[in-house]
A and B are shown apart, each in its own frame.
Chain A
């Protein structure tokens, strides 16, 4: 009887431990749970395409973006992006752009920029 109890006790502890660790791991790897971060990236990193995405994992939802050709601002916009959502912005310039094209995204006083040097 003692041995059966020991086996059951160890098995039970293993099951409970597994459930606990799986739960923690899943929760911590969730992109949004207890986290505050956001990203901006080009949809096509290799080509000259300027379509970009903003991915929001913060509680702030009001994003703004500006496009610069070298240091000249040529376009801008505002986006409302809910937490956990991605907004793809199909930016197509009116005319062919060359040189350093920078996309600057801001939220709550914080900015991030991505750029392409187009020849």
Chain B
């Protein structure tokens, strides 16, 4: 950031630099790894550190080469009163406190999604190369590079607290990014502080916050950092239009960073990227429509900015990387085609208001919609940030509640989760707009109403968090699964086919990390309902071989799949094996039994 903005010291405050540099570092790390992959450089501790150090040295060189600004300009926007400052500290502390309290009961490696993601991060560290995902489009490289890099450099185990901790850091920085974005857009400290309250403190645990952290919803968590960060840069790039009719070098740099961050997002999560593209299209359309008379002038300036050396070089570099250096798997496998079209399932036909209320929280949903209306009432058409806020909330609302309007064929609840960010900001805007216009200082009734509203939001958000906190998390089942996995990994080889149960074994998705014999190794008996889904016919052998191993179907399956080892929870699945002479019970703990087929 110093290398880029040395000449424009007023462009970003030190606090903004701290927040922005974290998100940008994640994207820079992605590009360093892509380059190494293309150059066939093994991804090791040495190469990772070297890549980062070389990048830092290049930035330092640029910093030294560029002429210094005469005088650093103090950014008043980030000068808070004593009360404001203490409130910010208190809200940040509360954000940490609530999330950490929840994570202290859920930090263990039990989440299925986290297990799947960490397999690929472990693959990266073991093979010193970027994973190819066996052609599976659901995994995207940006979800795993940061985990792989941390493991390579630190040597930390994926079974330690580092994966949820890294996700928590990303989650916290996403909230702080929203804080600086709001401060910049509205130029109002009260709205920014209220945003911190509505996004960080209220509903701090529910999805997509701490629950997604412990659940390992990696793409969503990183996406919720990179999307507001991209919005921040786009806002800064086009903020010149608010005050004057021309742009300078600073705006070009912000646009270059915006494009760079957008590509970082494309490399990280297809769903967030998809949503981002819809929002982006919506905000451009809305901004141009509300500035219809000057739209030609705005378009001309935007094109001029786009064709500046700063922007063009970053755009060209990003496109070269995207199409020639490292292309995400979802592009190669046309995953986009499956996301567009008429909804193919009931779960993709849109969310009702009642469902949205349970997902976003009653207080945030109602205040958020009030905020959206107030935003339109007090709309500042020249402020690009207002268009961002409007499009951010409205497009996600349409995508999640009325997907047919935009020909979207994706699970509506997954899109609906993204609403909490813009609605938290709009809730803050609503609360501020209502009470700022009512001369709060001189009216006891209004002061009381304000306090009651905040109390309502706090109670509803904090009670949601309180009910989610798990007080005691017995890890005995988890250690038994891991012990049995280690046993099998030591006693078997690649040719031994293992089948385990997903229904009754804790943390079973993490078993694959003990073997590292392929993403789908060991085989798994999935949730029973999946075998009954008529829209998705699937293989039945994994069900037959555990549920009824003596049936004709199961016997054929054992021959076809060469499965010899079965791992189940003895409290649910041992009777069917005990009565058969062709199975040996070779391992037994309270929660795990291992059977070996002896013929």
Residues of A within 8 A of B (CB): 2-7, 9-10, 13-14, 17-18, 20-22, 24-26, 28-31, 35-42, 44-46, 55, 100, 112-117, 119
Asked whether, in the complex, the Cβ of B92 is within 8 Å of the Cβ of A10, the reply is yes
**Which chain A residues lie closer than 8 Å to B172 at the CB level?**
10, 14
Asked whether, in the complex, the Cβ of A21 is within 8 Å of the Cβ of B586, the reply is no
Q: A6-B15, A115-B585, A116-B586 are in contact. Are A29 and B88 (CB under 8 A)?
A: no
Asked whether, in the complex, the Cβ of B88 is within 8 Å of the Cβ of A41, the reply is no
Asked whether, in the complex, the Cβ of A29 is within 8 Å of the Cβ of B480, the reply is no
Interchain CA distance A41-B485 in the complex, whole Å: 13
Asked whether, in the complex, the Cβ of B585 is within 8 Å of the Cβ of A114, the reply is yes
**Which chain B residues lie closer than 8 Å to A6 at the CB level?**
15, 88-89, 92
**Interface set, chain B 442-487, CB cutoff 8 A to A:** 473, 475-476, 478-480, 482-483, 487
Asked whether, in the complex, the Cβ of A29 is within 8 Å of the Cβ of B14, the reply is no
10 pairs, A vs B, C-beta closer than 8 Å = A2-B85, A10-B172, A29-B482, A37-B589, A39-B483, A41-B588, A42-B584, A45-B584, A45-B587, A100-B581
**Which chain B residues lie closer than 8 Å to A25 at the CB level?**
107-108, 160-161
**Which chain B residues lie closer than 8 Å to A5 at the CB level?**
85, 89
Leading 9 A-B pairs by shortest Cβ distance: A45-B586, A25-B161, A41-B587, A3-B15, A28-B475, A21-B161, A39-B589, A116-B584, A22-B161
Asked whether, in the complex, the Cβ of A22 is within 8 Å of the Cβ of B473, the reply is no
Asked whether, in the complex, the Cβ of A37 is within 8 Å of the Cβ of B104, the reply is no
B358 at the binding interface (Cβ < 8 Å): no
CB distance from A36 to the nearest CB of B (A): 8
Interchain CA distance A2-B15 in the complex, whole Å: 9
B78 at the binding interface (Cβ < 8 Å): yes
Known: A45-B584, A116-B584. 6 other contacts (CB 8 A): A9-B89, A10-B172, A39-B587, A46-B496, A114-B586, A114-B588
Interchain CA distance A99-B599 in the complex, whole Å: 14
**Chain A residue, CB-CB nearest to B79:** A2
Interchain CA distance A117-B487 in the complex, whole Å: 21
Asked whether, in the complex, the Cβ of A117 is within 8 Å of the Cβ of B586, the reply is no
Asked whether, in the complex, the Cβ of A21 is within 8 Å of the Cβ of B483, the reply is no
Asked whether, in the complex, the Cβ of A40 is within 8 Å of the Cβ of B13, the reply is no
Residues of B within 8 A of A (CB): 13-15, 18, 78-80, 85, 88-89, 92-93, 96, 100, 103-104, 107-108, 159-162, 164-165, 168-169, 172, 176, 473, 475-476, 478-480, 482-483, 487, 491-492, 496, 564-565, 581-590, 594, 596, 598-599
**Which chain B residues lie closer than 8 Å to A26 at the CB level?**
160-161
CB distance from A13 to the nearest CB of B (A): 5
> Contacting A29 at CB < 8 Å: which of B475, B583, B588?
B475
Interchain CA distance A5-B78 in the complex, whole Å: 12
Asked whether, in the complex, the Cβ of B165 is within 8 Å of the Cβ of A18, the reply is yes
**Which chain A residues lie closer than 8 Å to B93 at the CB level?**
13
**Which chain B residues lie closer than 8 Å to A31 at the CB level?**
479, 483
CB distance from A41 to the nearest CB of B (A): 4
Asked whether, in the complex, the Cβ of B161 is within 8 Å of the Cβ of A46, the reply is no
Asked whether, in the complex, the Cβ of A46 is within 8 Å of the Cβ of B596, the reply is yes
> Contacting B104 at CB < 8 Å: which of A21, A42, A100, A112?
A21
**Chain A residue, CB-CB nearest to B587:** A41
Asked whether, in the complex, the Cβ of A2 is within 8 Å of the Cβ of B80, the reply is yes
Of B107, B492, B586, most A-chain CB atoms within 10 Å = B586
Interchain CA distance A10-B180 in the complex, whole Å: 15
Q: A10-B176, A37-B590, A115-B585 are in contact. Are A20 and B15 (CB under 8 A)?
A: no
**Which chain B residues lie closer than 8 Å to A40 at the CB level?**
587-588
Interchain CA distance A28-B479 in the complex, whole Å: 9
Of B80, B478, B492, B587, most A-chain CB atoms within 10 Å = B587
Interchain CA distance A46-B582 in the complex, whole Å: 12
CB distance from A62 to the nearest CB of B (A): 19
Interchain CA distance A25-B162 in the complex, whole Å: 10
Asked whether, in the complex, the Cβ of B165 is within 8 Å of the Cβ of A22, the reply is yes
Q: A7-B18, A44-B491 are in contact. Are A117 and B79 (CB under 8 A)?
A: no
> Contacting A7 at CB < 8 Å: which of B14, B473, B476?
B14
**Chain B residue, CB-CB nearest to A20:** B100
> Contacting B160 at CB < 8 Å: which of A22, A38, A112?
A22
Asked whether, in the complex, the Cβ of A3 is within 8 Å of the Cβ of B13, the reply is yes
Asked whether, in the complex, the Cβ of A29 is within 8 Å of the Cβ of B598, the reply is no
> Contacting A2 at CB < 8 Å: which of B78, B92, B588?
B78
**Which chain A residues lie closer than 8 Å to B108 at the CB level?**
25, 28-29
CB distance from B201 to the nearest CB of A (A): 14
**Which chain B residues lie closer than 8 Å to A117 at the CB level?**
581-584, 598
**Which chain A residues lie closer than 8 Å to B478 at the CB level?**
28-29
Interchain CA distance A112-B578 in the complex, whole Å: 13
> Contacting B169 at CB < 8 Å: which of A14, A24, A119?
A14
Asked whether, in the complex, the Cβ of B160 is within 8 Å of the Cβ of A24, the reply is no
